[in-house]
A and B are shown apart, each in its own frame.
Chain A
Amino acid sequence: MRTPEQTRPEEKTRPPQSEAVETKSGTSSKPGGGGPTSSLPYKLARYLTMPIILAGVCIALYLWVSSQTLDSIEARNLNAELIVEKLVRHLEITVIATIAVVALAVSAGVILTRPAMRRVSPYIVAVASTGQAMPSIGVIVLIAVLLNQFGFTIAIVALVITAFLPVLRNTMVGIQQVDQSVIEAGRGMGMTKRAVLWKIELPLAIPIMLAGIRTALIIVVGTAALATFINAGGMGDFINTGIKLSRETILITGSVLTAVLALSVDYVAGIAEDVLRPKGL
């Protein structure tokens, strides 16, 4: 895994500057409180603020909807059973797409950082970038039209393409930013390439990888609202119905709940990031 060129003294302390820039753009969703501040009141405040705000929004929405007189169409849409059903569907799409993205993009990131792949990796990253550069709605509809298929699976495929890049790029950057001297020490003590990958490179890449996964998750949970256009269900159905039938109550409820869902998912991902970060870093 280490070519001789890499171990030349001139190169061994090279700082990954260009990559650091990428890291920042790749982890733009990192919360301001991600630092090592660890006093208990501060932690509690950080962890409790978001749920309280989100619960407040939900209660306000409920009170507002309750105060409206609903016609038959609105009443049919705005009931707990249907909302839960769409919510579950939306989460299903989100979770499955995210798992697929992580599985594919992390593997790709590991493979592309192997020295043998060093030459081709920029091209593959460029291809992955187009997935993110294209408007999500375009990707979703285009794929459905191209394959002439609609529904759940196509939605997943489209979301994977859309959210692939942040995970891929952060995996690569995460692995590349691992201190070369740490890897050299590992190899020098007789760790195999595989052991270096699993015991050194990946654990040390985890914080940056997690940031990328969190970004992907947010992209997926937001973009999943567009799945409604290819008949894949989810919270987008409410928004779509609201617009088509000019029912503002449905539109607003759908939009607000989608936003609350996205923020909740981000919140949970933020906690996961804190918990999964290796100690000692």
Chain B
Amino acid sequence: MSEERNIQNGTAENHAENRGKAMIHLEKLSKTFPGTDEPAVEELTMEIYEGETVVFVGPSGCGKTTTMKMINRIIEPTSGRIFIKGEDVTDANPDTLRRNIGYVIQQIGLFPHMTLADNVATVPKMLGWDKNRVSERTKELMELVSIPASYGSRYPKELSGGQKQRVGVARAMAADPPIMLMDEPFGAVDPITRDRLQDEFLRIQEDIRKTIIFVTHDIDEAIKMGDRIAILQERSVIAQYDTPERILTDPASDFVEDFIGSGASLKRLSLSKVGDIDPANWPVASLEDSHDDARRKMRESGKEHVLLLDGERKPRRWVSMADIEQNGVPLKEAGWPAIAIVEARASLYDTLDTMITSYKGSAIVVDDDGRYQGVVDFETVLASIEDMRPQDANRPDKTQRDVTR
């Protein structure tokens, strides 16, 4: 266990070099609730970088909400330190601290006796903004979350669940806090509304680039919303803290695999890039090669076709053995033109789509300049999907790779 945590720390440090500076740094944060012996959160250390959305995900009771609530100290940590922008805020005035941290909860918690405008204006008013600025900001935010500004004088009970949560998000963003904490914000709305709220939120986040901590128990939501995902297990121990792609491709433990669930491969198809999978061993030849060379390469590979590249290594034509046997036809004109070309950046999902509509059920992977990189066919994709499935057999390998990373 401790070894695993070290690995995670190692990963986080790598990220620190690659990305911006740490916005939130938690150091050995622990929480033991009075009257219990088991800590709810135990010595959690993690970093969250400026402008990224980090999703805390884990089974219920794993302490993810407790962890999040310790950041704005709605729950006071038993031990450990909290740093925001490098400043130790563990003992700072919690009210002042919270005015700079947006807070959205599942139950929304709009003030039922206040109008929507007053709800949204809560924090700006506390910060002493003047009236005009408050009302301007309120209107701007209502527009941002697609609530007509004319609704400002309405009361929360007049809104639908989805509208309420939009107002809840607007209220949390009112004073433009650099950090937002969101506790299952879309958990209480129907699936269609949730999907729309998620999309809207992603769109907003693209513009505002806040540092967001998002708590959910839904791995699909985590994959969709997160720049990075922290999968937490009992006592908020980090099982894996990485990008959605990495977590799906390379779960760090059985726990993570179990948590991702059986749909992992399909989920991953839209996240993993075709350039990342090992291409099939297809024979390639140059347009300038002789018929004999092409024939030999095909025989050696055991395949029925060979791909011909031009001088710039761009895929040109597929030829079969039969095409080559027609000695009179130069390779340049033999076979059929190479279609079903995908860029290495394309997702596996799109690649599969291309392959299904292509003639021989394969796709040619090229780099940004259109140069040949490899060929993928159903078998290679299947093999990589196979590889994504939780399998105890390859567990030692993965751990090894983790260590050397």
Q: Which residues of A contact B (CB under 8 A)?
A: 2-5, 7-9, 12-13, 179, 181-192, 195, 199-200, 203-204, 278-281
Contacts and interface: CB of A to CB of B under 8 A. Distances in A.
A280 B156 contact: yes
Given A4-B34, A12-B107, A280-B155, A190 B98 contact: yes
A186 B123 contact: no
A278 B171 CA distance: 21
A5 B33 CA distance: 7
A189 B75 contact: no
A189 B99 contact: yes
B113 A4 contact: no
A186 B111 contact: yes
Which interface residue of A12, A182, A192 has the most chain B CB atoms within 10 A? A182
Contacts of A8: 33, 66
Smallest CB-CB A-B distances: 3 pairs: A185-B109, A280-B155, A181-B107
A182 B108 CA distance: 8
21 contacts: A3-B34, A4-B34, A7-B69, A8-B66, A9-B66, A179-B112, A181-B105, A181-B109, A182-B111, A183-B109, A184-B74, A184-B109, A185-B103, A185-B110, A186-B109, A186-B111, A189-B103, A190-B94, A280-B112, A280-B157, A281-B112
B122 A189 contact: yes
B36 to A, nearest CB: 9
Which interface residue of B31, B97, B122 has the most chain A CB atoms within 10 A? B122
Contacts of B95: 190-192
B121 to A, nearest CB: 11
Interface of B: 31, 33-35, 60, 65-66, 69, 72, 74-76, 94-100, 103, 105-115, 122-123, 126, 155-157, 168, 171-172, 181
A190 B99 contact: yes
B113 A190 contact: no
Contact of B35 (A5, A183, A185, A279): A5
Contacts of B100: 190
Given A182-B110, A188-B98, A200-B111, 12 more contacts: A9-B65, A179-B112, A185-B109, A185-B168, A187-B74, A188-B72, A188-B103, A188-B181, A190-B123, A191-B122, A280-B155, A281-B112
Contacts of B171: 189
Contacts of A7: 69, 74-75
Contact of B109 (A4, A179, A199): A179
A5 B35 CA distance: 9
Nearest to A199: B111
A272 B403 CA distance: 72
Contacts of B99: 189-190
A189 B179 CA distance: 12
Contacts of A185: 103, 105, 108-111, 168
Contacts of A184: 74, 105, 109
A200 B99 CA distance: 17
B96 A190 contact: yes
Contacts of B33: 4-5, 8
A9 to B, nearest CB: 5
A185 B74 CA distance: 10
Nearest to A182: B109
Contacts of A2: 74
Nearest to A10: B61
Contacts of A189: 98-99, 103, 122-123, 126, 171-172
A281 B113 contact: yes
A279 B113 CA distance: 6
A190 B125 CA distance: 11
B217 to A, nearest CB: 11
Contacts of A203: 113
Contacts of B103: 185, 188-189
A8 B63 CA distance: 10
Contacts of A9: 60, 65-66
Nearest to A13: B107
A191 to B, nearest CB: 7
Given A7-B74, A191-B122, A179 B107 contact: yes
A12 B100 CA distance: 24
Contacts of B112: 179, 182, 204, 280-281
A192 B65 CA distance: 22
A67 to B, nearest CB: 54
A183 B31 CA distance: 22
A115 to B, nearest CB: 12
Nearest to B31: A4
A3 B34 CA distance: 10
B107 A5 contact: no
Contacts of B105: 181, 184-185, 188
A182 B33 CA distance: 22
A190 to B, nearest CB: 4
Which interface residue of A179, A183, A190, A204 has the most chain B CB atoms within 10 A? A190
Contact of A181 (B72, B108, B123): B108
B155 A188 contact: no
A218 to B, nearest CB: 26
Nearest to B64: A9
A179 B110 CA distance: 10
Nearest to A206: B113
A7 B183 CA distance: 13
Contacts of B110: 182, 185
Contacts of B157: 280-281
A204 B126 contact: no
A4 B34 CA distance: 8
A280 B65 CA distance: 30
Contacts of A281: 112-113, 157
